Amino acid sequence: MKFRLTCLIGYSLLVLTSVVTAHARTVTVLSDGWTFNLGDHPESISPEFDDSGWQRVTVPHDWAIKGPFDKKHDIQIAQIVQNQEAQATEKTGRTGALPHIGQAWYRNSFRLPHYQPGQRVLLLFEGAMSEPHVYLNGEKVGQWNYGYNYFYFDVTDQFLPDHENVLAVHLTNREQSSRWYPGAGLYRKVRVIVKNPQCIRQWGTQITTPEVTATEAKVRIRTTISGNNLTLVTTVVDPKGNMVASATDDSVVATDTVLSQDLTVSAPALWSPETPSLYTAISKLYAGDVLQDELTTVFGIRTIQYEPEKGFLLNGNVRKFKGVCLHHDLGPIGAAINVAALRRQLRILKDLGCDAIRSSHNMPSIEQLELCDEMGFMFLAESFDEWAKAKVRNGYHRFFESDAEKDIVNLVRATRNHPCIVMWSSGNEVPDQHGKQGVERAQRLQDLFHREDPTRPVTVGMDQVTAVMKSGFGAVMDIPGLNYRTHLYEQAFRAFPQGLLLGSETASTVSSRGIYKFPANLAKMKTYEDLQCSSYDLEACSWSNIPEEDFVLQDDKRWVIGEFVWTGFDYLGEPTPYDTAWPSRSSYFGICDLAGLPKDRYYLYRSRWNKQDDTLHILPHWNWAGREGKNTPVFVYTSYDSAELFVNGKSMGVRTKNSSTILNRYRLRWNDVKYEPGTLKVVAFDSDGRPAANAEIRTSGEPARLVLTADRTVLQANGEDLAFVTVSVVDDNGIPCPTATNQLSFDVQGQGTYRAACNGDATSLEMFHLPTMKLFSGKLVVLVQSTSEPGPIQLTVSAEQLADGVLELSSK
């Protein structure tokens, strides 16, 4: 199989601020003015309903993230087949132990003073959890079942010009409808679009190129237009703001015309993770000399190829995906979309050397895709976690036969122009992998993706590898994606005709930041009384493995085109190996913890992935009162091949990476170090054997003061921007205290508010939104949110017997 793709793609910028007016088209984001109430309140459909007693909220909103955590929330008696469980057991934290189950209503009222008689009005929802029913002015305008999808309704007939229009949305989150924390509520943006009846259709722009070379790109823009006797004028602007191409076409003679315009861009700046160059296309639709519609689309030019002899090529260059999987929750703020939180995640991943994201196991947010376009991350956009066969009792299987096509259509049409997307996924570990019906479903879904977008291949995350080799399921896929099962890679490669494999989900190593267990041995499903996992990075689950098993495949097998590690960040729910234990309410899989703080494993991946910066990281910490004289292994994760370790100036010897074991190939290990308080120092050597870098950690004294460090000190005064402030504790000499667990309190003054805190402890039941939390392994993160007014912001963090930490921020 040879799947060769060359394309130029982009995305529609619907809105840059609360309201964007583009002559005849206006887009309004409904963020303020919402009321919210839990429970079934059908009377609230009426415009006359009195909701003055309801809670006032802004959207995006997650009603469950404030908790409290409780094991009674969505207890599932389940046998997790994907985890190779032999029998059903009680899962207490599987969906995060947060109160997301139930019904709720949202209401808002709005006027559209810019509306002109005869215009069309659309309501666009970018995600609503879950099963939304939408009413405008007392009339039902539509419903949608899939909580992760984008959808819109034409509400022109229900809209009242020159009146307050009352919007009501009913949501239902059912028990046993998810395998992780899904969030709850209108967790993505809601927009109102006003445009003329003669217009560019919603998601009606598709940009590709039949040819890209170093000297020019052939740009093809297909635009679906409502109306007749119209002229379409399109201009293309390069990343520097220069107009570089234009086209005019007056052949729109009938409604729903698909107009194709071919343009040429000379010396194109190609999009890649290293150079995420973006162009802009401006489409203007005229009736005579009168502007009817205007739409701006940002796009990137790049080529993608998947070839059995070479693997994956971006812009003609072979590369392997250095990717991570991400669930959609944002830790302490839940599922509610926030651009600052998403951008912080991507900055952390960029420093890691990561170049690709897989949305797992759901359709991505528009904001996430826009940021990946801008910052340079390739993207595997996933659709479903279930097809026709169930994983959970009230999962997507209930809607698969009726909804799968329209859900895929909306996914592709809403996002197909993003340059970051290089592959689609139609499913993850679906039980349908077995048998003839599963093969037919896989083919049907793949055909739908090809119909909507013939420029990208389709994969499925397959965990039943023996079954898909036998049934033909794996042979059907454009790109066979294997979830784990590293021992079957060779067999699957020989069995499948495509000539390549993707590690669509890899590793699932488990660890707790700053927690170390002795002895440091390889283990599967290892549990401890404190419900933590060892950060020696030697522990995995029954179905999974340590990182090195995937490293070997990536490095030694040309036909393995890359990996997507499970996961980039810890997420709420799925606390394996403690999914039957309490309290335990979030995952241990992340390269970073739930607060976004790097675990030790971060530096193991960084030492391989980040080729621009040196990595030299020592573990464990060196505060082990009571272990004096006991064996305390020391590992070093580094981009250098060799290093020498010193304990209080005494050499522990030189270690050099070698192929004697997979651990020795990627880690430097001193397994026989005896603990003594003091200084642990490592000196790394370059390829000529000369000292090139050094790092050290020291035994700390008692906690003395707090240290505050912000990811950003200047915020936008928009009422939603966030600063993430890392709080740590040090002793009198400024040495970090890695085992500190002090209870902290937070106070924000000025033009900012306290939003949340998170310490990364999967067993913590402290609520994120309350202004107090314990340190975990000496650290936590505080989120400070801007108000809508510019000015200074002051964060004060205090604890008993410690000097306060004070940080000055500002908003503009």
Residue from 429, 539, 563, 720 carrying the catalytic annotation: 429
Q: Which of 131, 452, 505, 720 is catalytic?
A: 505
The predicted structure's pLDDT at residue 3: 44
pTM: 0.96
Predicted local confidence at residue 783, as pLDDT: 98
Q: Exposed/middle/buried for 401, CB within 10 Å: 0-12, 13-18, 19+?
A: exposed
| Residue 28 structure tokens | 């309004």
Whether the Cβ atoms of residue 417 and residue 299 lie closer than 8 Å to each other: yes
Q: What is the pLDDT of residues 645-686, one digit of tens each?
A: 999 999 999 999 999 999 999 999 999 999 999 999 999 999
| pLDDT reported for residue 23 | 53
* Distances in whole angstroms, Cα of residue 258 to Cα of each of 203, 227, 252, 298: 12, 11, 8, 20
Give φ, ψ of 661 to 5 degrees. Answer: -145, 160
Judge whether 43 counts as a catalytic residue. no
Give the E-state strand segments of 517-649 in sequence order: 523-524, 539-540, 560-566, 616-619, 634-638, 642-647
Pair type for strands 257-266 and 216-226: antiparallel
Q: What is the mean pLDDT of the chain?
A: 95
714 vs 723: CA distance, rounded Å: 8
* Per-residue CA distances from 768 to 98, 334, 741, 771, 774 (Å): 12, 10, 16, 8, 11
Active site residue 766: no
* pLDDT for position 147: 98
pLDDT value, residue 645: 98
Domains of the chain, first to last: 3-7+203-303 (2.60.40.10), 25-64+100-195 (2.60.120.260), 320-609 (3.20.20.80), 624-698 (2.60.40.10), 705-811 (2.60.40.10)
List of the chain residues with pLDDT < 50: 1-22
Chain centroid to Cα 656, Å, comes to: 36
The Cα–Cα gap between 782 and 726 comes to 6
Strand pairing report for 668-670 and 634-638:
antiparallel
Contact 93, 582 (CB under 8 A): yes
Collapsed DSSP state (helix, strand, coil) of residue 128: coil
